[in-house]
């Protein structure tokens, strides 16, 4: 399916309920590669992506279980499966790290560039019928999580990005009217 840019922007939704179908690693890599054309100051391309797909998924699930499900060892198999559903139904993962420049202006520019990159990822995935969800759980800064991603001291983990196929598109959520967030210069 080919969408116009406008259609992709207006139709894209964050998918929170995936159907469990795996996403081909090559498809994820192609999306991530195409998204690199996002605008970024000084062409710094301040992002680094750690991909978990296909054969890595059991290890990704194990890490997410350890980080997100307190006392998981005490849960029954069924209770643990319910807790893990929000992680195991996604078909692939991309963990996004951004260089943390010591200079405030550059640090903010780099975060903005990474956000542009991720918007490109979302739109490119949507065009291919792959849903995404940008998640920022509290454990992104956990030293054990950072270690699992081989995060460097100068990198910040900004996203646990889920890819997956879905059976239903979420309803449109209303947005503010233009007049609520735009004013004309001098007024």
Per-residue model confidence as pLDDT tens digits over 119-164: 999 999 999 999 999 999 999 999 999 999 999 999 999 999 999 9
Q: Which pLDDT belongs to residue 94?
A: 98
Q: Tens of pLDDT along 45-85?
A: 999 999 999 999 999 999 999 999 999 999 999 999 999 99
Contact between 60 and 28 under an 8 Å Cβ cutoff? The reply is no
Could you report the per-residue pLDDT of 82-122, keeping only the tens digit for each? 999 999 999 999 999 999 999 999 999 999 999 999 999 99
């Amino acid at each position: 399916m080919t969408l116009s840019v406008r259609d992709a922007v207006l139709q894209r939704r964050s998918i929170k309920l995936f159907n469990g179908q795996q996403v081909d690693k090559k498809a994820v890599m192609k999306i991530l590669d195409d998204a690199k054309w996002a605008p970024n100051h000084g062409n710094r391309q301040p992002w680094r992506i750690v991909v978990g797909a296909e054969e890595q998924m059991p290890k990704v699930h194990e890490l997410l279980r350890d980080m997100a499900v307190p006392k998981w060892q005490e849960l029954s198999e069924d209770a643990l499966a319910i807790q893990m559903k929000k992680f195991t139904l996604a078909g692939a993962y991309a963990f996004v790290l951004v260089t943390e420049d010591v200079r405030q202006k550059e640090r903010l520019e780099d975060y903005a560039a990474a956000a542009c990159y991720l918007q490109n990822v979302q739109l490119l995935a949507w065009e291919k019928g792959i849903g995404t969800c940008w998640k920022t759980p509290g454990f992104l800064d956990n030293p054990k999580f950072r270690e699992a991603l081989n995060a460097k001291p100068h990198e910040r983990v900004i996203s646990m990005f889920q890819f997956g196929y879905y059976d239903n598109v979420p309803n449109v959520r209303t947005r503010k009217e233009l007049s609520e967030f735009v004013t004309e210069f001098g007024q």
